[in-house]
């Protein structure tokens, strides 16, 4: 039986094309593949958002995030630590491990694995590839995640004929905007 719900989020805020602000790793060292200070704020705010949720959000039973691809030929998006950094504080709070078995580009394989889970699944990923995950799950989701939005949750709820799509706003940080 496939999971009841799959929640897809984009990793939290990253370094802009022309920094500052700079990405910093958990130890505070500058790292272009890590979250910015605002990204770390969002990662912290996501703890309460998912650990003590309001419907339609639910507490995940399983958490996935893309792994950083260490291959020399990998693009910058594939080398990102941001998806894992975004959900690690939540995973710690919930006593869960983050499954980072897949890299950007393996969305079909990820979807197949996610469909073998039970309960509620959270996936943090690179935004340009989130629609590919939704498509692999045969959800009627948009074909594009907006480039400027870090504050959305795509909710895929199991129905009779696949997954039903719904989008909600996190409304966690100043500047998070309502749905357009």
Q: Looking at the structure, give the CATH architecture of the domain made up of residues 5-12+24-141+153-169.
A: 3-Layer(aba) Sandwich (3.40)
- The whole-number pLDDT of residue 179 equals 80
Mean pLDDT of 20-31: 94
Mean pLDDT of 94-110: 97
- The whole-number pLDDT of residue 72 equals 67
Domain boundaries, the chain: 5-12+24-141+153-169
Predicted structure pTM score = 0.95
Minimum mean pLDDT range among 13-22, 45-54, 56-65: 13-22
The DSSP string of 29-74 is -B-TTSB-HHHHHHHHHHHHHHHS--TT----SEEEEPBPP--TT-
Residue 171 CA to residue 54 CA, distance in Å, equals 12
Residue 55 CA to residue 69 CA, distance in Å, equals 34
């Amino acid at each position: 039986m496939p999971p009841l719900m799959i929640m897809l989020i984009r990793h939290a805020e990253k370094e802009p094309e022309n920094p500052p602000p700079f990405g910093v790793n958990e130890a505070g060292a500058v790292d272009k593949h890590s979250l910015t200070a605002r990204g770390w704020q969002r990662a912290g705010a996501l703890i309460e958002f998912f650990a003590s949720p309001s419907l339609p959000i639910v507490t995940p039973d399983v958490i996935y995030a893309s792994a950083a691809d260490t291959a020399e030929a990998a693009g910058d998006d594939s080398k990102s630590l941001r998806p894992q950094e975004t959900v690690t504080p939540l995973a710690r709070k919930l006593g869960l491990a983050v499954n980072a078995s897949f890299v950007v580009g393996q969305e079909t394989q990820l979807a197949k694995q996610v469909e073998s889970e039970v309960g509620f699944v959270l996936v943090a990923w690179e935004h340009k590839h989130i629609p590919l995950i939704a498509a692999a799950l045969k959800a009627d989701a948009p074909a594009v995640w907006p480039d400027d939005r870090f504050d959305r949750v795509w909710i895929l709820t199991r129905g009779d004929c696949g997954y039903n799509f719904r989008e909600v706003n996190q409304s966690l940080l100043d500047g998070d905007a309502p749905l357009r």
